[in-house]
A and B are shown apart, each in its own frame.
Chain A
Amino acid sequence: MTSDLIVFLVLSLVAVASALGMLFSRNAVYSALFLVLNFVTVAVFYILLGAPFIAMTQITVYAGAIMVLFLFVIMLLGAESLPPSEGLPWQKPLAILLAIILAAESVYLIFTRARSNAVVSMPEIATNSMDNLREMSAMLFNQYLLPFEVASVLLLVAMVGAIVLSKHEKVAKG
């Protein structure tokens, strides 16, 4: 048991626990906060995997912006737990069953069919340097220029869409 492994196991435990916490908590705010924890854990994983930029992006955008947005809306709409469901009593047990089967199948497939010999090593100091970042941005703006631009258009569209949706409602009210 190397130290890498121990760190990995602890972190993965936190991640899974926070995920499950998000899933089972009655209060929507608690769920959101559990999810933030999950995102941070995953960001740490990114650092361990030698992707500092992505880790920072994750924390900034995901945990920082998206989850905040979620929290806003949760507080707008009310965080109470919902009454027990009226229809589809068979759906919940079946869903749990299927999720467990999915997980089991995936694990089985990975450990038997998709076995790989690759090993993730601790990131070197060099991976956290600006040179890596420069290389990555060069690749981003050269090879992946089109997706980049398209992504920006997509963000524009999303903004416009959100504004239109909210504006429409204001006109109807007025």
Chain B
Amino acid sequence: MHFIETTSTGFFYLAPWLVFAPVVGLLINLIFGKRLSENAIGAVASLASGVAFIVSVLLAYSVSANQGEMVSVPFAEWIHIGALKLDWTFRVDSLSATMMLVVSGVGTLIHVYAIGYMREDVHFKHEEGRFGRFFVFLNLFIAAMMILVSGDSYMMLFVGWEGVGLCSFLLIGFWYEMDTLARPSWANSDAAKKAFITNRVGDFGFLIAGFLMFWNLGSFQFDEAFKAAPAVASSAPWVIVAITLFMLIGVAGKSAQIPLYIWLPDAMAGPTPVSALIHAATMVTAGVYLITRSAPLYTLVPQAQYIVALTGAVTALFAATIAVGQYDIKKVLAYSTISQLGFMVAAVGMGAYVGGMFHLITHAFFKALLFLSAGSVILGLERGHHHAAHGSHDSHAKGLSLSDLLARNNAPAALGKWVGAPAGSEHGHGHDAHGEVFDPGDMRNMGGMRKTMPVTFWLYIIGTLALAGIVPFAGFWSKDEILLDANLHYSSVYWLLTVAAFLTAFYMGRQIWMVFFGEARTDAAAHAEESPKVMTVPLMVLAVLSALGGALNLPFEGFHNLGHWLGHTLGEVEALPLNLTVAGVSTVLALAAIFISWLIYGRNPLKSGQLDPLKKPLGFIFTGMENKWFIDEIYQTIIINPFTVLSQYFADAVDWQFWHDFMHDTVIVGAYNWFSESALNSYADQKGIDAFANWLGAATQSLSASMRQIQNGFVRSYALSVMLGVVAILGYLIFK
């Protein structure tokens, strides 16, 4: 990189490889994907992500060697128009280095896991050709996320913001022609669209904030904007409030806060590695990163900070209640993610940037672990399902693609059947005794998995304990720091978060008892198989990180490593010591929650077909939790239906009837036709030009008719004319 100029020592010149290593990986897989084996594709993609991770490590080392000083690595000029100067500059400081490490580290582990997962998934769905496409998208995502976290201005961040939004769309809709149970349907595409459109609403907020920033603070670049902010804050504080609150809308879209969280549960339609990487560990944390980066702006406006914190806290509690009533293993984790993101947003809202970032990191570890383990469970169930349906593994119909089978089946018959073979085939692919589709993600189909999938079981336990916040796992330390800060500054936020923490432990306990304990409720669960090493080894790495990650920022003197590290970027950070009351209350509540969940779910394990034990006691509350408080339905009625009606009106009445039929057909076309017919045709053409042309012809004819009489055939008259000429000439000579 000889054209990267930087005066600092270290590996800063490697910064562009953060983006371009994944780009190279995706190009290789895109161009040569058809000719490479599945292992090769996966290796290339994982290597590309691994290179990005190594570069992140080197950059982090360089930052620390540089005493935490920020280094910007200019890369390219982008837009230079008038006062607007946007450049592509890589900003390497402690905050962005942290994000880079998390994204590329967890990302690489998930790439490796995905090799094993996708191999089985495309096999179950008979779409082996699509394997390469997944890794292309995954690398694209890493590249876009790197652009997001390494950007030096809000607009570069936005480029990455949009990029990850696109990758989210592409990956959620990876199986675009089916629903989660592989029936032909548009459900997955709808989920992808929902994610993209909801993100768009958030992006609108981000852009408004950006425009306000440019007009009032004069620049998109971080340092310049932050330098100009205090002056504007004293003269017109509402500007900064507006900027921060519009940015909050963007955060609500990307990080799934109220009211724009609705896309994240539907995004579980994507393959599990996608859910782990994008919707747990990295993309959704972009909002938290944004607020942390904008800390100088938020600290100027405490009113906005309170709104942010409250939004996060309410979201945390709201999502936790929904998680209690969910039956799908991934949906529980999805709402858990929303809830934990609420924790992070509340933290950064309160000004506890270190706490928020700490929880971001630990959450990335244990949520990725949980999601990937859930994926392992789901695949295990599918394997068991295939074993239960027919004896040998190899009696699958091989090589048939989804489209072949869709073509073979008539639509009504195919609905409700597993897409594998038409009815009457000897391999009752995926049929259980009732002829309905088998849902391997439904916790009611699981049970007793700790005997059939022990490795996954222990990994899941570690993840759960970390999430629930049991000491000494990582989640305890990070959550505790947030609760500590809330307790000191914002008591309402503290109470909301504490109740949310209680519910977190409860629903995770419920999940453990339902999935891993008791007796297997279906044949598939009884015959489930453990996942291969390529899947379980990354999980083990994540489990270790979940267990020991707390060491990043222990609330003891001298151990505030992360705080010290981030303090280089954020300025003064509050380093809170351990408050035993807060810590004790939260631990007791978590343990109590797990105990209560054992009482309800663990002591009398659920039998197959039995209703959830909470249904009767809680009645309509449980119905609300089960149906996510009908938020989607409310949005549909209040927003989407009127919008459809409005757009239909615009399309029909305004566009079609008025513009097309009236303006275009009648007015413009009619006027043109009148003009061309009456004006031009009748007057100009027929009366004018035609008349002239015809007159020319007629005149020539009459002239020739009269001149023709000279040629009367009589030689004498010809001779006479000669004589006449001679006489005339002589006469002229006489009179000359």
- Contact of B733 with A by CB under 8 A: yes
- On whether A95 and B720 interact (CB within 8 A), knowing A102-B726, A102-B727, A106-B730, the answer reads yes
Interface residues on B, range: 10 to 19
In the assembled complex, the CB of A133 is this many whole angstroms from the nearest CB of chain B, namely 37
| Given A87-B712, A95-B723, residue A102 in contact with residue B717 (CB < 8 A) | no
Bound-state CA distance A108–B717 (Å) is 27
Which listed residue (A98, A105, A106, A113) contacts B724, Cβ 8 A?
A98
| Contact between chains at A105 and B716 (CB < 8 Å) | no
Q: Cβ of A98: which chain B residues have Cβ within 8 Å of it?
A: 720, 723-724, 727
Q: Say yes or no: A91 contacts B720, CB within 8 Å.
A: yes
Q: List residues 712-736 of chain B with CB under 8 A from any CB of chain A.
A: 712, 714, 716-717, 720, 723-724, 726-727, 730-731, 733-734
Pick from B714, B717, B720, B734: contact of A105, CB under 8 Å: B734
A108 touches B716 (CB 8 A): no
The residue on A at minimum CB distance from B726 is A102
Query: Could you say which residues of chain B place their CB within 8 Å of the CB of A94?
Result: 720
Residues of A contacting B731 in the complex (Cβ-Cβ under 8 angstroms): 101, 105
Q: Which residues of B contact A106 (CB under 8 A)?
A: 730
The residue on A at minimum CB distance from B719 is: A95
Contact A109 B717 (CB under 8 A): no
CB-CB < 8 A to A95: which residues of B?
716, 720, 723
User: Contact mask B692-726 → A, CB, 8 Å, 1/0?
Assistant: 00000000000000000000101011001001101
The 0/1 profile, CB within 8 Å of B marked 1, for residues 55-91 of chain A is 0000000000000000000000000000000011001
- Contact residues in A for B726 (Cβ distance below 8 Å): 102
Contact, CB under 8 Å: B712 / A105 = no
What residues of B have a CB within 8 angstroms of the CB of A101 in the complex?
A: 727, 731
Q: A121 to B164: give the CA distance in the assembly, Å.
A: 130
Please tell me if the beta carbons of A109 and B734 are within 8 angstroms of each other in the complex. yes
Residue in chain B with minimal CB distance to A94: B720
Q: Is the CB of A102 within 8 A of B730?
A: yes
- Residue of A87, A91, A105 near B727 (CB, 8 A) is A105
- Is there a chain B Cβ closer than 8 Å to A99's Cβ? yes
Task: Please tell me if the beta carbons of B716 and A88 are within 8 angstroms of each other in the complex.
Answer: yes
Q: Are A88 and B717 in contact (CB under 8 A)?
A: yes
- Chain B interface SS verdict (over half): helix
Which B residues lie within 8 Å of A113 (CB)?
A: 733
Residue of A nearest to B724 (CB): A98
Chain A: which residue is nearest B731 at the CB level? Answer: A105
A101 to B723, CA, bound (A): 10
Q: How far is the CB of A74 from chain B (nearest CB, A)?
A: 19
- Count A/B pairs, Cβ under 8 Å: 35
* List of A residues within 8 angstroms of B723 by Cβ: 95, 98-99, 102
A88 with B714: CB separation less than 8 A: yes
| Contact call B734/A108, Cβ cutoff below 8 A | yes
Interface size class of A (residues with CB under 8 A): 10 to 19
Q: Give every chain B residue within 8 A of A88 (Cβ-Cβ).
A: 712, 714, 716-717
Q: Could you tell me the distance between the alpha carbons of A95 and B726 in the complex, rounded to whole angstroms?
A: 12
Least CB distance, B553 to chain A, in whole angstroms: 130
Q: Are A87 and B714 in contact (CB under 8 A)?
A: yes
The reply to whether B733 and A109 form a contact with Cβ atoms under 8 Å apart is: yes
| Beta-carbon contact of B724 and A109 below 8 Å | no
Residue of chain B at shortest CB distance from A108: B734
Q: How far is the CA of A46 from the CA of B720 in the complex (A)?
A: 31
Complex CA distance for A5 and B322, rounded to whole angstroms: 154
**Would you give the shortest CB distance from B527 to chain A, in whole angstroms?**
119
Closest chain-B Cβ to A84's Cβ sits at a distance in Å of: 14
Kindly list chain A residues whose C-beta atoms are within 8 Å of the C-beta of B712.
87-88
Q: Which of chain B's residues have a CB closer than 8 A to the CB of A109?
A: 730, 733-734
Fill in one digit per residue for B243-269: 1 if any A CB lies within 8 Å of its CB, else 0: 000000000000000000000000000
Complex Cα distance, B720 from A102, in Å, reads: 12
With a cutoff of 8 Å between Cβ atoms, the chain A residues found around residue B714 in the complex are 87-88, 91
In the complex, what distance in Å separates the CA atom of A94 from the CA atom of B716?
11
A91-B733 in contact (CB<8A): no
**Complex: A71 Cα to B724 Cα, angstroms:** 31
- The CA-CA distance from A83 to B326 in the complex, in Å, is 133
Tell me the residues in window 101-115 of chain A with beta carbons closer than 8 Å to chain B beta carbons. 101-102, 105-106, 108-109, 113
Distance A88 CA – B720 CA, assembled complex (angstroms): 11
Closest chain B residue, CB of each to CB of A85: B716
Bound-state Cα–Cα, A106 to B734, Å: 9
Contacting residues, chain A, for B734 (C-beta < 8 A) = 105, 108-109
Distance (whole angstroms) from the CB of A97 to the closest CB of chain B: 9
A99 partner residues in chain B, CB cutoff 8 A: 723
Give the docked Cα–Cα distance between A150 and B621 (Å).
Answer: 135
How far is A41 from B178 in the complex, measured between Cα atoms in Å? Answer: 129
Please measure, in the bound complex, the distance between the C-alpha atom of A113 and the C-alpha atom of B734, giving whole angstroms: 9
| Complex CA–CA separation, A99 to B719 (angstroms) | 12
Residue numbers in A under 8 Å from B724 (CB-CB): 98
Give the CA-CA distance A105 to B732 in the complex, in Å.
10
A106–B716 alpha-carbon span in the complex (Å) = 22
Complex Cα distance A91/B721, Å?
Answer: 10
Nearest residue, chain A, Cβ from B730: A105
Collect the chain B residues with CB atoms within 8 Å of residue A91's CB: 714, 716-717, 720
| CB proximity of A96 to chain B, nearest CB, Å | 11
Chain B min CB distance to A106 (Å): 7
Q: How far is the CA of A105 from the CA of B727 in the complex (A)?
A: 8
Residues of A within 8 A of B733 (CB): 109, 113
Across-interface contacts of B716 in A (CB, < 8 A):
88, 91, 95
Q: A91 to nearest B CB, angstroms?
A: 6
Q: A-contacting residues of B (Cβ < 8 Å)?
A: 712, 714, 716-717, 720, 723-724, 726-727, 730-731, 733-734
Q: Can you list 25 A-B pairs with a CB-CB distance of less than 8 A?
A: A88-B716, A88-B717, A91-B714, A91-B716, A91-B717, A91-B720, A95-B716, A95-B723, A98-B723, A98-B724, A99-B723, A101-B731, A102-B723, A102-B726, A102-B727, A102-B730, A105-B727, A105-B730, A105-B731, A105-B734, A106-B730, A108-B734, A109-B730, A109-B734, A113-B733
| A interface residues with partner B (beta carbon < 8 Å) | 87-88, 91, 94-95, 98-99, 101-102, 105-106, 108-109, 113
8 smallest CB-CB distances across A and B, nearest first, come from A105-B730, A98-B723, A102-B727, A101-B727, A98-B727, A91-B716, A95-B720, A88-B714
New A-B pairs, 20, CB < 8 Å, besides A88-B714, A108-B734:
A87-B712, A87-B714, A88-B716, A88-B717, A91-B717, A95-B716, A95-B720, A95-B723, A98-B723, A101-B727, A101-B731, A102-B723, A102-B726, A102-B727, A105-B727, A105-B730, A105-B731, A106-B730, A109-B730, A113-B733
